[in-house]
Structure 1
């Protein structure tokens, strides 16, 4: 007598390989056509998957684009080892690595333009990538202030410090007028720390 089949799983399990392939194909297609001409149909074709497989994972084009960028950049770049300078360098250097060694360097100009045109995409990007990354750096700065390494920062001062740390990297990534390298990161971090030290004095 044949053995009856076991119980079926409650739902189809997601395949991490498909997720990775879709994210990679997303960044490649963004680099090729930009956000405005990006379609789930073309993405599915390029990734070698069916459109329903994409929509099961990401409910919209906006969610997919933001998830692909977040996965590439990481949302917790700044570690907290207690060495503030090195921790900030480590965090900001993740941007240089992404812009120099992945397709994100080619995607960035088109993505920035599309963020300005699409409020839904901009809000999703700010919530899931931009603010998430800044929160990890802000936590390190606040911890350093608690230890007396830097002065306490109010909201405006914290926002400026966070902007000043990353802005030179984004600027060079957009205009490519000078190298993106560790020297740039170290100079950016040192200037910000010098400014914070001056506030304490």
Structure 2
């Protein structure tokens, strides 16, 4: 049962945050990004609009936060098997694009990011950089084990781009399938250049 409406002066409540995010994702699936409004979210979450605006200054910020929760910001586990960890991590991205509202929301959200530098920074911090950081940590630990060579700063940035870029590209343009084969090819191609060469 959704939480009862709260007065504007009350403290933040995690239950409200969860209800608002859930209502946002439901409405994105129902009406799409362009037609979603804060008023609709407030009604469906059974909260007052000021409670939403205290947490998120705009619809775009709310959607960014809901998307971050949807796809996870630390997807790359560290089991000691680098290839399996990268396959699982990039796989979560492809699954989100194909099985949730993220795939339909992404093009419009990216367009808004281009028009709003503050929103862009929020997206980069909340979604983009957080996921990259978890993958970077796994790569550095694999290098310390001798599983791959240690990439320098510029190469590491390229490696992180190369792992995720094919999935984002296909999610935006839909010119080819977003599937397990894409994940496998992306990971294996990157690892080919990073594997430690035999003496």
Which range, TM-score by smaller chain? 0.7 to 0.9
Q: Match of 2:76?
A: 78
Q: 1:121 aligns with which of 107, 111, 119?
A: 119
Decide which moves more: 136-145 or 149-158: 149-158
Kept in 2, the 8 Å contact 1:142–1:152? The answer is yes
Could you say which residue in structure 2 is the equivalent of 1:105? Answer: 103
Shift in Å, 1:53 = 2.8
- Structure 1 pair 123–85 and aligned structure 2 pair: CA distance change class (3 A): same
Equivalent of residue 132 in structure 1, options 130, 146, 167: 130
Instruction: Quote the RMSD (CA, aligned, Å).
Output: 2.4
1:128 Cα deviation from its structure 2 partner: 1.2
Residues 88, 189 of structure 1: 8 Å contact kept: yes
CA deviations over 1:4-23 (Å, ceiling 9, x no partner): xxxxxxx667253x433321
State the distance in 2 between where 1:66 and 1:13 align: 19
Q: 2:192 aligns with which of 157, 169, 194?
A: 194
CA distance, structure 2, for counterparts of residue 157 and residue 21 of structure 1: 41
Which runs of no fewer than 5 residues in structure 2 stay unpaired? Answer: 1-9
Give 1 or 2 for the bigger CA radius of gyration: 1
Q: Distance in 2 between matches of 1:28 and 1:96?
A: 20
Cα distance change, pair 43–13 in 1 and its aligned pair in 2 (3 A)? closer
CA distance in 2, matches of 1:171, 1:177: 9
1:60 aligns with one of 57, 60, 70:
57
How far apart in 1 are the matches of 2:65 and 2:14?
16
Show structure 1 runs of 5+ residues with no match: 1-10
Distance 1:196 1:24, change over 3 A: same
CA positional deviation for 1:34: 3.8
Distance 1:114 1:200, change over 3 A: farther
Count of aligned residue pairs for this structure pair: 188
Separation (CA, whole Å) in 2 of partners of 1:126 and 1:28: 24
